[in-house]
Chains A and B, each alone.
Chain A
């Protein structure tokens, strides 16, 4: 590492933070875009049903529809508290 690189790397590389944040949010929002309009409500109702049995937060239930060529898969991910 050269003397000059030392000064550069001592500053935080915020561009790479920006890149990582964008990769995540853009992938997430693209996933949402491709979802049918009923998904938010479906997600809410599933959450309500689960909450009748266990206390979970909104972000601990993930519902996603993945389209393949010949079928769609509804994926449900619930993180239960310890």
Chain B
């Protein structure tokens, strides 16, 4: 049985595409046949993050409209076995994704894949609703910041009322919190919401905490999802999150600030006091 997982947030720019790339790569690296779908119709960014932008011929909307077969549109990832990408269309028609069309494509994918990862666009409108409608599980990407947390709660409301599982009164969509761009130093200084705060406010299970990391930018520069670099904290944190998604226990790491030298802290303290 294929599992459909949406990566969503409400708020834009919090790390959905970054997370979609690393999580789908991680699932594939661990032997799961995985496809990642870019639902961000009009923009299309996942192909760049996954370094396949020059191999896009057909896209999601072409498949829905019958202009291409799924096999023609799917791009096989060159870096990772078991991984395929279905790119977004750059059409300006935001309504191009119909519920029936999306369902048909997902059903066809479900015949061959173990995991179907849906990279949602920002917002709570049509595109975001299409990305989450058929989901079995949802990863709510949240930054430790007021507007992101509030928007995450709104997306949770939509999952609980407007998803297929909600409408058909099936088991609810399984919700996971992925807190990204986390700075333990700033949390310890009282400048940033702590992971416990966000967990308590949203009241959902914590899948992982991805630290704010320079490696995320360098990895997107070169189109290599950060999970490939297991030397980096972000890469390791995504790997832990994927393990948990597959049902394994992993302790949470990178939640506390690295100890700075006494003089550095003194200097910082007196400069800002």
Contacts and interface: CB of A to CB of B under 8 A. Distances in A.
A binds B: yes
Interface in B238-273: 265-266, 269-270, 272-273
Interface string A16-29: 10110111011001
Interface stretch (B28-36, B48-56, B67-75, B190-198): B190-198
B97 to A, nearest CB: 25
Given A15-B190, A23-B201, A7 B146 contact: no
Nearest to B153: A26
A8 interface: yes
Contacts of A68: none
B189 interface: yes
Contact of B153 (A15, A16, A30): A30
A4 interface: yes
Contacts of A4: 265-266, 269
B185 to A, nearest CB: 11
A26 B149 contact: yes
A52 interface: no
A14 B153 contact: no
B110 interface: no
A22 B150 CA distance: 7
Interface in B165-195: 187-194
A13 interface: yes
Contact of B190 (A14, A22, A23, A25): A14
Given A22-B201, A26-B201, A29-B154, A14 B191 contact: yes
B157 interface: yes
B187 A33 contact: no
A41 interface: no
Contacts of B192: 15
B154 A8 contact: no
Contacts of B191: 11, 14-15
Nearest to B266: A4
A21 B146 contact: yes
B161 interface: yes
B269 A7 contact: yes
A10 interface: yes
Contacts of A18: 145-146, 193, 197
A28 B253 CA distance: 33
Contact of A13 (B146, B154, B190): B190
Nearest to B160: A33
B203 to A, nearest CB: 9
B157 A11 contact: no
Given A4-B265, A11-B272, A22-B146, 18 more contacts: A8-B190, A13-B190, A14-B191, A16-B190, A18-B145, A18-B197, A19-B193, A19-B201, A22-B149, A22-B193, A22-B201, A25-B150, A26-B149, A29-B150, A29-B154, A30-B153, A30-B157, A33-B157
Interface of B: 145-146, 149-150, 153-154, 157, 161, 187-194, 197, 201-202, 265-266, 269-270, 272-273
16 contacts: A4-B266, A4-B269, A8-B189, A11-B189, A11-B190, A13-B190, A15-B193, A15-B197, A18-B145, A18-B197, A19-B193, A22-B193, A26-B153, A26-B202, A29-B157, A33-B157
